[in-house]
């Protein structure tokens, strides 16, 4: 269920990082606003336990008992300007994270869309930059350009959603491919998968474009396991990009998720 990346940093298959020394749970792109977890797949079937957001959140809090939580990215889209029921829903989500006394720090890329009257919990704080011990947190789309840090310090970025294209065998025994979400370590930054599997903005990483020191980790069911990037072949062209549906494709719903298999 979890795999050690550093002495004090574990990757969890429930799409989270656990910083043991700081007793901090890290989540990226919580995005409960995109359907308050869209409780169905596109086939109309319930989400498996390892995909259901509430199941994962409750189990993470129970297993690790974190002293604080770091959330990278918005909890609900444009959360600073929400009113009425959406504002109440946002504060309910935050209350579930904070409990009675647990601080929650949100690191955002667009602070003007995050701060506002909707957020009233005194345990909740919105920042653009955060450092906890040797870890610096950000939520940015670019992954290979970072401010220089001390050699022992690491960036944790939630703004990119890593996907790897892996060769597999088809049911008939032929060659096939599968795209899976995962974690990426570039040598100076840990890039996290989104907490919500259906969040948009996934990026397929090609092994020949990654730094030599990069390490990849795939998420399959309830497991996280390493990928040998040096042995990973280049995928076919049509698997190197993840297209977003147009509004017409979505039938007018601008928030329909894509790539449910991720």
> Which pLDDT tens digit goes with each residue over 177-235?
888 999 999 888 999 999 987 776 677 888 888 888 999 999 988 899 999 998 888 88
Which pLDDT band holds residue 89 (cuts at 50, 70, 90)? confident
Instruction: Give the length of the chain.
Output: 262
Which pLDDT band holds residue 145 (cuts at 50, 70, 90)? low
Please tell me whether residue 187 adopts helix, strand or coil conformation: coil
Count the neighbouring beta carbons within 10 Å of the beta carbon of residue 15: 25
> What pLDDT sits at residue 32?
67
Residue 46 has pLDDT above 50, yes or no: no
6 or 198, which is more confident: 6
> What pLDDT sits at residue 108?
86
Residue 128 near residue 108 (C-beta atoms within 8 A): yes
Which pLDDT band holds residue 134 (cuts at 50, 70, 90)? very high
Give start and end residues of each alpha helix (H) in 7-113: 53-64, 84-98
Distance from C-alpha of 72 to C-alpha of 63, rounded to nearest angstrom:
21
Domain ranges of the chain: 2-239
Residue 179 near residue 164 (C-beta atoms within 8 A): yes
Contacting residues for 153 by C-beta, under 8 A, at least 6 apart:
134, 135, 136
> What pLDDT sits at residue 245?
43
What does the mean pLDDT of the chain come to? 80
Rounded average pLDDT over 153-180: 88
pTM for this entry: 0.83
């Amino acid at each position: 269920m979890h795999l050690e990346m550093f002495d004090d940093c574990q990757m969890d298959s429930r799409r989270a990082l656990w910083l043991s020394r700081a007793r901090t749970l890290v989540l990226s792109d919580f995005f409960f606003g995109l359907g308050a977890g869209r409780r169905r797949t596109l086939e109309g079937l319930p989400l498996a336990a390892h995909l259901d957001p509430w199941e994962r959140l409750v189990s993470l809090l129970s297993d690790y008992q974190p002293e604080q939580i770091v959330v990278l990215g918005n909890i609900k889209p444009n959360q600073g300007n929400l009113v009425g029921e959406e504002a109440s829903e946002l504060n309910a989500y935050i209350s579930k994270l904070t409990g009675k006394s647990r601080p929650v720090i949100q690191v955002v890329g667009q602070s003007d869309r995050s701060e506002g009257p909707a957020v009233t919990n005194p345990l909740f704080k919105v920042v653009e930059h955060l450092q906890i011990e040797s870890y610096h947190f950000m939520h940015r789309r670019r992954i290979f350009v970072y401010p220089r840090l001390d050699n022992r310090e690491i960036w944790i970025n939630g703004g990119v959603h890593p996907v790897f294209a892996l060769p597999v065998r088809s049911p008939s025994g032929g060659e096939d491919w599968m795209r899976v979400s995962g974690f990426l370590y570039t040598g100076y930054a840990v890039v996290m998968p989104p907490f919500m599997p259906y969040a948009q903005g996934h990026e397929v990483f090609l092994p020949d474009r990654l730094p030599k020191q990069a390490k990849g980790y795939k998420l399959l069911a309830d497991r996280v396991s390493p990928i040998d990037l040096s042995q990973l072949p280049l995928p076919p062209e049509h698997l190197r990009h993840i297209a977003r549906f147009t509004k017409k494709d979505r039938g007018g719903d601008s928030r329909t998720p894509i790539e449910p298999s991720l």
